Structure 1
Amino acid sequence: MGTTGQGLSVGLLDLLTGRWLSVPRLGEVSSMAAQHHGDRSAFEILPGSLRGEPKRTEISYAEFDSLVEALASDIASKLGAEGESAFPRIVVRGPNGVMFLASVLAASRAGAVAVPANPELTPQELEHVVADCGARVEIAPPEAAVLDGIDRVETRWSLLHDRSRKWPSPDLSEVAAIFYTSGTTGNPKGAMLTHRGLFSDISLAGAYPFRSDFMVEALPTAHIMGFLVLAGALLAGIRTFAMERFRPVRVLDALESFGASMFVGVPAMYRMLLDAGAAYRDLKSVRVWMSAADVMPRDLAREFQRMGSAFTLGGRPVGEALFVEAYGMVEYSGAATVKISLPFWDPFSSSIGIPLPGTSIKIIDESGKEVRRGEVGEIAIRGGKVLHSYRNREDETGKAVQGGWLRTGDLAKRGLVTDHFAGRSKDVVTSGGYTVYAVEVEEALRSFAGVADAAVVGVADHVLGERVAAAIEVEAGAKIDLDELRVWADSRLAGYKRPVEYAFVEELPRGSTRKVKKDQVRQLFEGESDDGS
């Protein structure tokens, strides 16, 4: 394919002239990328993806925008036939990757609010998302199960489009998408994010100067991290191979065969890559490793830095790769801080990082007052990226955002130059980069016959960071079959929420107020193997 905008100078010129300083609306992202990067290759795709072109293995920025345009036209026609009001909600379903990203952008371009749905959701969880957001239309692949009462626009790899249509142009403060996250009340809750919140940071990605970079990623596109990684790469002009599922050996194969210069994953993925033999692969082409969604162990990051290189000189790799970590959450529309570990030197190993432009961080006590240096408090964030609100949950929005500050529930020790992680105050398990709320899993388990009560904890795991474990208080006289309980849980909880280990007890450990002592529950699983045996 032809190329436009090659080389370092164009990116710097764009940055100096302010060409990329405007914040795009969600539906404008692919058109902005197409205008800037044109016929350059944007994505590697699997052969056979494009109908009529079985050997095609790539799609350009201009062609991707045509795909978004075609899908948006289909959505607009469906919305018109349905008589939908302004900015209706549309559920987006399908496997991770390029088509999922195109579907989200197309829904927004057509004047709708996109609601990405994780493909791992159970039917019950998906029903809740659809009912909570009030969607009457979805965009999904033909093979997806039909949802009752929901009209469908089917995804299609079509590059044919009609440019005569004029699209809505919502204000940047309007809600662009609703990303659902686990709720502490037992059901997923929808974080309503604005156009400005989603793209005030990554709009600057268009000024990224290195046009030859190639990224491999296998993140869930329905989650804020996976979505913004793909959208950011699109704006930056970074050619990307987006894998539908994370398979460590296949990821290593892709990194080697493409000679990739970037990889983005969560810490659990890096552990799996190491266990799959990353140290015995040639990964010297990788100049930048990136991670988020959980704290990255310093020793693990250093191993991958040594596997990569800083640059190539005379055809030979020189130095070590960079490691970039971001801290953020869906309620802040993605990243709030960033930390870069340089080769051979990392002065901020346990730091939460440096706040991004427009973001303020402070460490506060329970009353909201800033703690003194050396004290531990809750991380609070303020900036234009704070969520608009939780859908249908005004009380929870009021608790999460106080005086413009987002209370994260994460703990940090206030430092002299930067602040350092000190754990989490919320009762959550971080497993494989996913946030699992114990309350949600406990409520599900309590509805199984014979379960008097349940307590869910995270147990240290070599691969996942933490694995989900559940202690079950059995009703007097009842007998619970473990295999039946597992099958039952599989039908009600997404894969990453399902307990890996179970312990059955006559009574859960409790204090004088009858509150379960989670530290003692966790001791029930100490010394257990990582596979739950």
Structure 2
Amino acid sequence: MSLTEWLHRADSHGATSKALVCGERSYSYSELKEVITRVAAAFVEMKLPKGARICILSQNSDRAIISFWAAIWAGYIPNLMNTRWSVRELELSLADCEASLLLVDDSFIESGEALEKACGFLDRLIFIGERKDASSGTLSYEQLITASPCDDRSGTASDDVLLNYTGGTTGKGKGVVHTHSSISSALNICFAENFYDHRKTLGLVVPLFHISGILCMAATLRSQGCLVVVPAFEPSRVLRLISEFNVETMMMVPTMCRMLVSSEDFNKHDLSSLTSILYGGSPIDKSLLHELFNALPNAEFFQVYGQTEGAPISFLHPETHRARGDEERLGSAGNVAHGVSVSVRDSNGKELAEGEVGEVCFKGEHVMNRYWNQPETTAQTINDGWCHSGDVGYMDSGYLYIVDRLKDMIISGGENVYTTEVENVLAACPGVSECAVIGVEDETWGERVHAYVVLGTSNQHDLDVIQRHCRQSLAGYKVPRSFSILDALPLTAVGKIDKVALRRMAL
């Protein structure tokens, strides 16, 4: 099945239903199909090679979404680029995937012009924003939509459908290639688990360049819901849009959840329409989860665990969240998803028994096809059909627990220290607002635990107090031996704590 199947139904099922809202613009399903097929025709008229890569550097917007689907409809491969990368990083990504077109919005027109000069292989720079001062030689969105609609050229289930670069929190990003089949399978898993409801209004606040943004957007359109597109996450704007458009569901990372519930505008808007909070992307501390329970009593909570190479892997369902007293289960990544297999393995590839800690490996029809131009890395990651996640975890009574990233695990005096365990204890300490833990070199122990903490405004704790708190719950070798106090933790483009940046700070 082609991923464009929902577009073929747009004229017959719910044609007049609202599909997308972005600022002052809104589209019915038939209107959205019309403009997507027009932009696709404009791409086809450029006579690009089959499977050409079309890179989109844009904040969340209607035009970015239209361009994404137009590329697929035309038989090309869209790559929604990381908007927080430097020009140099963007240049490397464009070169890596040998892009034919680069589309930019208002925020990136200067970067786009610099990239066009640096990347001689680009056929065209196209402006999909609102500003009127784009260079005269740049093709505009208004010119694209003058083309006459074209037929679907998207291909078959086994064809490549999109390229999505990993966030690179553990190093250089890799280009993950998905097919029509793998993304369709991911959506089928989500629907089977009731992660997405049909015909719901979803506030699209996660960035489109993240796999969760792509899946949220695609699932909403496939189920004939309505997308309320938020260009960038600003709590006051998000709260206003929830109230204005009766947003029913949103996908957020924990950092977004914290920012939303901590906003001074939180109690100024009617949020009663918000009945479903989807979250994932990084661990969430239980204190924040309980704060969300109290702040949004009408909402069901649903956690998803996955990664760019294959999402979803597991779900923590609403019924587990409802059992508020089951703190242990709330700290898990939930049950393995429908149609997915999980195996926890040691460094030799041997499957471990329940309760034993090892690397989480998974398989399913939703797993990526390959890394772009990296056959050796692909072979290392996917072995005998099993995708190696790089996450350390264990199974217990049907629940999957993630304790760390393999590359984040600290080895101190020959003992493994899982940073998530230490961070959960730190987060429960009164006066600690946010925290992150890394390993730093130590002459005696090889590595020692170093903690970065953000203190609450009303509680300026002595670090000895925090350390004593940790000793009550952790073995001595797990207790942070050194601390840094920060005003805020550095974040990646998708709101995860940037441990690469923290390690640089520790040098």
TM-superposed deviation, 1:196 = 0.9
TM-superposed deviation, 1:227 = 1.4
Matches of 1:60 and 1:195 in 2, distance apart? 24
- Residue aligning to 1:263: 250
Matches of 2:372 and 2:435 in 1, distance apart? 29
- Residue aligning to 2:226: 239
Compared CA separation, residues 524 and 101, structure 1 to 2 (3 A): farther
TM-superposed deviation, 1:278 = 6.5
Matches of 1:470 and 1:251 in 2, distance apart? 36
One-letter amino acid matched to 2:220: A
Answer yes or no: is 1:302 the counterpart of 2:290: yes
Question: What is the aligned counterpart of 1:175 among 152, 157, 160?
Answer: 160
- Residue aligning to 2:449: 519
Question: What is the aligned counterpart of 1:196 among 181, 187, 190?
Answer: 181
TM-superposed deviation, 1:526 = 1.5
Matches of 2:96 and 2:337 in 1, distance apart? 32
The residue correspondences of 1:3-402 to structure 2 (distance < 5 A) are 23-25=1-3, 27-33=4-10, 35-47=12-24, 57-78=25-46, 80=47, 84-141=48-105, 144=109, 145-146=112-113, 147-148=116-117, 149=120, 150=122, 151-155=124-128, 156=141, 162-163=148-149, 165-183=150-168, 186-202=171-187, 213-277=200-264, 280-281=267-268, 282-309=270-297, 320-332=298-310, 334-342=311-319, 344-345=322-323, 348-402=329-383
TM-superposed deviation, 1:113 = 1.3
* Deviation readout 1:111-131 (Å, 9 max, x if unpaired): 111121122221100111111
Answer yes or no: is 1:427 the counterpart of 2:415: no
SS in structure 1 of the partner of residue 309 of structure 2? helix
Compared CA separation, residues 256 and 203, structure 1 to 2 (3 A): same
The residue correspondences of 1:465-476 to structure 2 (distance < 5 A) are none
Contact 2:451–2:484 (Cα < 8 Å) also in 1: no
TM-superposed deviation, 1:74 = 1.3
Compared CA separation, residues 270 and 24, structure 1 to 2 (3 A): same
* Deviation readout 1:25-66 (Å, 9 max, x if unpaired): 2x444444554321111122212xxxxxxxxx4211111112
Contact 2:19–2:225 (Cα < 8 Å) also in 1: yes
Compared CA separation, residues 121 and 296, structure 1 to 2 (3 A): same
Matches of 1:264 and 1:63 in 2, distance apart? 26
One-letter amino acid matched to 2:288: L
Question: What is the aligned counterpart of 1:531 among 488, 495, 500?
Answer: 488
SS in structure 1 of the partner of residue 376 of structure 2? helix
Unpaired segments of 5 or more residues in structure 1? 1-22, 48-56, 310-319, 430-456, 472-507
Matches of 1:394 and 1:464 in 2, distance apart? 43
TM-superposed deviation, 1:290 = 0.8
Matches of 1:196 and 1:220 in 2, distance apart? 23
Matches of 2:71 and 2:433 in 1, distance apart? 34
Compared CA separation, residues 153 and 75, structure 1 to 2 (3 A): farther
Compared CA separation, residues 324 and 245, structure 1 to 2 (3 A): same
Matches of 1:61 and 1:518 in 2, distance apart? 56
Matches of 2:256 and 2:489 in 1, distance apart? 19
Matches of 1:397 and 1:184 in 2, distance apart? 18
* Deviation readout 1:234-262 (Å, 9 max, x if unpaired): 11222221110101122122223333221
Tell me the C-alpha RMSD between the 2 structures: 3.4
SS in structure 1 of the partner of residue 317 of structure 2? strand
TM-superposed deviation, 1:404 = 0.6
The residue correspondences of 1:421-500 to structure 2 (distance < 5 A) are 421-427=402-408
Contact 1:509–1:520 (Cα < 8 Å) also in 2: no
Compared CA separation, residues 234 and 93, structure 1 to 2 (3 A): same
Q: Percent identity?
A: 23
One-letter amino acid matched to 1:42: A
Compared CA separation, residues 162 and 269, structure 1 to 2 (3 A): same
Matches of 1:162 and 1:205 in 2, distance apart? 35
Unpaired segments of 5 or more residues in structure 2? 129-140, 411-422, 453-479, 491-507
* Alignment coverage as a number of residue pairs: 419
TM-superposed deviation, 1:428 = 8.8
Contact 2:449–2:482 (Cα < 8 Å) also in 1: no
TM-superposed deviation, 1:464 = 9.6
TM-superposed deviation, 1:336 = 1.8
The TM-score, its normalising length taken from structure 2, stands at: 0.74
Matches of 2:399 and 2:50 in 1, distance apart? 44
Contact 2:438–2:449 (Cα < 8 Å) also in 1: no
TM-superposed deviation, 1:354 = 2.5
Matches of 1:510 and 1:422 in 2, distance apart? 26
Matches of 1:361 and 1:152 in 2, distance apart? 43
Compared CA separation, residues 278 and 345, structure 1 to 2 (3 A): farther
* Deviation readout 1:199-234 (Å, 9 max, x if unpaired): 223258789896663222311101111111111111
Matches of 2:190 and 2:31 in 1, distance apart? 20
Contact 1:92–1:116 (Cα < 8 Å) also in 2: yes
Matches of 1:185 and 1:255 in 2, distance apart? 34
Matches of 2:34 and 2:358 in 1, distance apart? 49
SS in structure 2 of the partner of residue 517 of structure 1? strand
TM-superposed deviation, 1:424 = 2.0
SS in structure 1 of the partner of residue 213 of structure 2? helix
TM-superposed deviation, 1:329 = 0.4
TM-superposed deviation, 1:403 = 0.9
Compared CA separation, residues 185 and 253, structure 1 to 2 (3 A): closer
Contact 1:173–1:196 (Cα < 8 Å) also in 2: yes
Matches of 1:41 and 1:305 in 2, distance apart? 30
